Amino acid sequence: MKVGIIGLGYVGLPLAVAFAEAGHEVVGLDTDPRKVDSMNQGHSHIEDVPDRLLEPLSERLRATTSHADLASCHAVLICVPTPLTSSREPDLSYLVDAGRSLSSVLQPEQLVVLESTTYPGTTREHLRPILEESGMAVGRDFHLAFSPERIDPGRTDFTIRTTPKLVGGITEACSERAAALYREICDEVIVVSTPEAAELAKLLENIFRSVNIALVNEMAQLCDRLGIDIWEVVDGAASKPFGFMRFDPGPGMGGHCLPIDPFYLAFKAREHDFYPEFIELAGKINQSQPLFCVQKIERTLNDAAKPVKDSRILLLGVSYKAGVGDTRESPALKIIRLLRERGAEVSYHDPHVDELSELELRSAELEQELPQADLVCVITPHPQIDYERVVAESRLVLDFRGVTRGISAENLVRL
């Protein structure tokens, strides 16, 4: 089988490797010629896909910038970004562009699957009409389905192979074709009745986490007022073996899904005169968490008789989660901007992120920055960092992740 994949990012490239490892020919399309050239030379731009995985696949996996190369594929998977606009509404421009380009080369009997996270109705109401501009009809001439990506960057305990795969087709035949495709790389494929069910299931997965993270972040803000250790509270609640699932507080949510998905669902709900206030409130709480962290930084410096203005503040970690270099929607970026607005001199150290070009910053060396910083803030708990050393060599440390529990020091403050 020949599989085409549009979008070679955190979702598309691991899928391309999975199909190639299963023995299929893969054509990966990306609009960035630098990614394409790099991939064809055996170099990966995604941490979860090291170069050593690409080398033995060179004869089965190739990258291109030409949509014409997709015409010979049996199946095409669309894995493009679905971000928010500046007004925090769904931005389907990448999906629309991909659909229109694919429509011009669509072939009879091809299977098209959308993997990008989106609101219910996108596959049927947006992608289908675009593809049918080819003159062909879904269910009669080609097949169309939605199958939500479940890639978690940096995770090794659950892989594409071992994570159950949801599939929902426009027709029953569409579902069968899509299920057969994914059984090549997934141990378990679950077929739901419609694309809308699969689209909403994906949103529910992520909104479940968003709501619970908002709850524990709001609890952290309350504990800060009450003078109670939030980490002790969470540990205590988590000791209950049933009826409780642990979520930890932090500086805010990041990544492509959690900060965005609640707004996608809220947009769709408003079209039907329904206002998901509970979900939108969770989104607002999580969006405001970086500001709470900056206020905590201000109070911590104030207690040390220092203003934020002209203070040297070192952030440890700027990626959105530990162990990866993905900075999409990272709360650290918002914290940096807010601190700069207040006149702080901000630097960062992150073993996974060499540069933040949009902020004109490069990762600093700990040996140089720790003793010079007025305040060191733990934003992302990368396991490579020795936090005992950080506390020992710093003037003042503010831990937003709880990694210093077990360390007792006068210069240490925790969320």
- Percentages helix, strand, coil for the chain, rounded to the nearest 5? 40, 15, 45
Is 223 catalytic? The answer is no
Q: How far apart are the first and last CA of the chain?
A: 52
Q: Maximum CA pair distance of the chain?
A: 73
With b meaning 16 or more CB within 10 Å and e meaning fewer, what string describes 340-378? eeeebbbbbbbbbbeebeeeebebbebeebbeebbbbbb
Query: Reading across the β-sheet that carries 143-146, which strands appear in turn?
Result: 61-64, 25-29, 2-6, 75-78, 111-114, 143-146, 165-169, 189-191
> 224, 395, 209: which is closest to 314 by C-alpha?
395
**DSSP category for residue 138:** B
Give ∠ CA 81-189-265 in degrees, rounded to 5.
Answer: 40
Helices 331-341 + 277-303 axis angle, to 10:
50
Out of 79, 174, 223, 257, the active site residue is 257
Question: What is the β-pairing status of strands 312-316 and 345-349?
Answer: parallel
| 16 touches 28 (CB < 8 A) | yes
Give CA–CA dist 12/18, Å, rounded. Answer: 10
Which residues touch 16 (CB under 8 Å, ≥6 apart)? 3, 5, 8, 26, 28, 61
The set of catalytic residues is 257
